[in-house]
Amino acid sequence: MIVERQVELSFGRASREAETHTNLSAVRQDGRCLWVAGDETATVERLTARTGPDGLVTAYEGHRTVALADLVELPAGPDEEADIEGLARSDGWLWAIGSHSLKRKRVKPGQSDGKARKRLASVVREDNRFILARLPLVTGADGLPEVVRSAPGEDGGPDRTAAVLGGRGDAITDLLADDPHLAPFLPIPSKDNGIDIEGVAAHRDRLYIGLRGPVLRGWAVLIEIHPETDPADPHRLRLRPIGKGKQGRARYRTHFLDLGGLGIRDLCPHGDDLLILTGPTMDLDGPVRVVRWRGAATIDAADVVPAAELEDLGGLPYGDGDDHAEGIAVLDEAAPAEEAAPGVRLMVVYDSPSAARRLPDGRILADVVTVGGGPLPE
């Protein structure tokens, strides 16, 4: 996989103080803008492109922060992090999803054996992690996308309203309480191969949710849901039944993918395909690869996808304790055809960026890479 160039991402002081810029976990392009999120706050960030004479993006700047608590109800209030691990954009909506994970406390340097053992036995649940938010997008006076609490519906239809799933016994993990594959992993912390959502992709009325863990005998898990507005409360979401007959009573599907023992670190739609960022379930550096699942959005049944049906697009760089690729997004640029690299451009953002990626004044370097698969579908 070719790293074509690097692009600066510039963040304001508040986000630098919250260390959002060094904990990036999700990215999605929206015209001239990028939506990004970190996993230590309950916010979404918008950056705007600066382009060079050739039409290629050289930097994203003009940082603006959107607080989720200003738009939807957060179970634990505005001050607790939501551990946002995935962003998706489709049909005038921006989606944000938390990790839905438990966490085991870390051992701190210099602690006694007794304190270290006590911390390793302590598992914490933070309720804001267990949300899925759907946010209306509108075009602002400056021509750029904005997230709002509500917006007029199209053609006289009902208003489009920010809405949330989770916090009332209806989180995605609550649905899994009787799942034969995933229920045993619900009480297990994320970094112990427990439930850990790390990516989301939207395709029309479908959402695809990628799990970093658990990985079941080498098979990664992807959950498909069809969310809609709750008719009893426009600020809430519910899940529409999927399928026909007996299958139609289910509110989710699971798909199993042979990713060679790796988990899903992010998802990105590309036409009817899904691009999958893969990486270790545990706290390891690599390997990290991008895989294409062709025709994923055309499948109307739970699926088991062997490695032979997945296209390996190549590996991404990773460091030693740093440079952990956490988010990918198709980057659509208006570059001259003769200057465009073949294949598809992806923006890649990294958690725990290395010193080489950290520039003064809160600027961080992201990668633009090219992968095979032909041009962006119309």
Q: Using alpha carbons, list the distances in angstroms from residue 230 to 133, 170, 340.
A: 13, 12, 44
Q: Is 17 helix (H, G, I), strand (E, B) or coil?
A: helix
Residue 25 near residue 43 (C-beta atoms within 8 A): no
At residue 55, the pLDDT reads: 84
Report the alpha-carbon angle 57-344-328, nearest 5: 70
Q: CA neighbours within 13 Å on the CB side: how many for 127?
A: 13
At residue 245, the pLDDT reads: 56
Q: How many C-beta atoms lie closer than 10 Å to residue 270's C-beta?
A: 22
At residue 52, the pLDDT reads: 87
At residue 377, the pLDDT reads: 39
Per-10-residue mean pLDDT for the chain, 378 residues long?
90 92 95 94 96 90 96 94 96 96 91 92 95 97 96 84 97 96 96 95 96 97 97 97 72 96 97 96 89 95 95 92 94 62 84 94 93 52
Q: How far apart are CA 42 and CA 67, in angstroms?
A: 6
Burial category of 304 from C-beta neighbours within 10 Å (exposed 0-12, middle 13-18, buried 19 and up) = exposed
Q: Is 218 helix (H, G, I), strand (E, B) or coil?
A: coil
DSSP 341: P
At residue 375, the pLDDT reads: 43
Most distant CA atoms of the chain, gap in Å: 65
CA dihedral over 186, 181, 266, 229, signed as positive or negative: negative
Domain ranges in the chain are 2-371
**Which amino acid, 85?**
E
Q: Using alpha carbons, list the distances in angstroms from residue 237 to 95, 225, 373.
A: 12, 12, 35
Both tokens of residue 137? 């997008």
At residue 378, the pLDDT reads: 32
Rounded to a whole number of angstroms, the CA Rg of the chain reads: 20
May I ask the CATH class of domain 2-371? mainly beta
At residue 247, the pLDDT reads: 57
Residue of 192, 212, 208 whose CA lies nearest to 200: 208
